Amino acid sequence: MHKAHPIVAPVLAFMAVVPPTLDAAPIVSEPDANGFRWSTVGDPGNRPTTPEDLPSNPEARIGSVGYEYRIAQTEVSNTQWLAFVRAYAPYYTGDPTASGFVGYNIVPTSSGYQAVPGTEQHPAVMEWRMAARYCNWLTNNRATNREAFESGAYDTSTFTINPNGTFNDQLTHTPGAAYWIPTEDEWVKAVYWDQNRYGQGQGGYWRQPYSSDLPAVSGLPDAGGHTNAGVRLDELGNAMNVGSYPMSVTPWGLLDASGGQREWNEKSLGLRFRQYRGSQAGEALDTVRLNDMLSGGFYTMSTSNFGLRIASLVPSPAFAFVGGILAIFSRRIRS
């Protein structure tokens, strides 16, 4: 039987009796191999919204999540989506220019798919089912076989439509999936819940998606704007890079919760629609104010194109710590 390294074994025994500690303040990670910065959303078991939080919809009870999870700081960019498009292209049988697949700024060329120069860091758009395949692909470590796109987070064999227009798609992600489209509660919590809203340890919901009750000021960043939603597209130059408003953050460190693109949620309605939340660049100001409110939450058909901010499992602290210890000893053994 293989024996543990004599120093690693005591480390494992120590970890078995000493629980990991978590920082009270949320921390956004450094970019991972996929280019995502992650915020870990803690405070598990936070309360849902109340009629005081949502006077326009007093019956709603949303935002409560009983577990820790991670969510990307920004929406998926064209660069991140382009990697998926290129990987899935051999199995894709639809229109190669369909916006539900490539978005608005990725185009097929004689040398393969490319992003339009200057749009590489703009937020990507896609249909909900492609967003699900993207989560499958990430969950399967970006493997290039067909199966890597068809299961893992969502079983795409269920992606069928009935004669009456209802769909049969898997409604929620598979338990244990590494990446998925956020649930409504996960998205709302990451954007609006502040565990110290009314003082240390006194949680509550903000009305707006940048840690405020006041509507965001539409405008360019260098002019004091909080969001590109509500700004004319001709003034924006069509779009902006993700993360262009670093001072407009949610309590958990998320950017672009207002503006950028409307974002897919996992929630379905009547087996005909999937939910999106948030506003988008160039949107009419009155619509922005409605979509950015905590009481927002609108549904659209699953074939429409919106942005995506993915959710993820929190890596095990024990796994990460032991992995680092083993890497150190591996280097020492080889040296």
pLDDT at 316: 77
pLDDT at 12: 36
Strands (E), the chain: 38-41, 69-72, 106-109, 112-115, 179-180, 193-194, 204-205, 263-269, 273-277, 298-301, 311-312
Phi, psi (deg, nearest 5) at residue 273: -135, 155
Domain 8-334 CATH (choose: 3.40.50, 3.30.70, 3.90.1580, 3.40.630):
3.90.1580
Question: Which region among 95-99, 197-201, 213-217, 326-330 has the lowest average model confidence (pLDDT)?
Answer: 326-330
Cβ(70)–Cβ(138) below 8 Å: no
Of 269, 279, 260, 258, the C-alpha closest to 299 is 269
Whether 41 shows a pLDDT value over 60: the answer reads yes
Cβ neighbours for 159, distance < 8 A, ≥ 6 positions apart: 129, 132, 167, 168, 169
Phi, psi (deg, nearest 5) at residue 40: -90, 120
Cα separation, 126 vs 10, in Å, equals: 49
Q: How far is CA 81 from the centre of its chain?
A: 13
**Domain range annotation of the chain:** 8-334
pLDDT at 309: 98
Q: Report DSSP letters for 142-208, one per residue.
A: T--STHHHHSSSS-GGG--B-TTS-B---SSPPTT-SEEPPPHHHHHHHHHEETTTTSTT--EE-SB
Cα separation, 173 vs 264, in Å, equals: 14
Whether 22 shows a pLDDT value over 80: the answer reads no
pLDDT at 21: 32
pLDDT at 321: 45
Phi, psi (deg, nearest 5) at residue 290: -70, -45
How confident is the model over 169-196, as a mean pLDDT? 97
**Of 20-24, 143-147, 227-231, where does the model show the most confidence?**
143-147
The identity of residue 55, as a single letter, is P
Comparing 318 with 235, which gets the higher pLDDT? Answer: 235
Pairing of strands 106-109, 298-301: unpaired
Cα separation, 268 vs 274, in Å, equals: 4
Cα separation, 273 vs 261, in Å, equals: 18
Sign of CA dihedral 78, 79, 85, 88: negative
- Rg over alpha carbons for the chain, rounded to the nearest Å, is 21
Question: Which region among 80-94, 97-111, 298-312, 320-334 has the lowest average model confidence (pLDDT)?
Answer: 320-334
pLDDT digits (tens, 9 = 90+) for 267-323: 998 888 999 999 999 888 888 988 898 877 778 877 789 999 999 999 876 544 444
Collapsing DSSP to helix, strand or coil, 41 comes out as strand
How confident is the model over 254-261, as a mean pLDDT? 95
pLDDT band at 212, cuts 50/70/90? Answer: very high
pLDDT at 25: 53
pLDDT at 4: 41
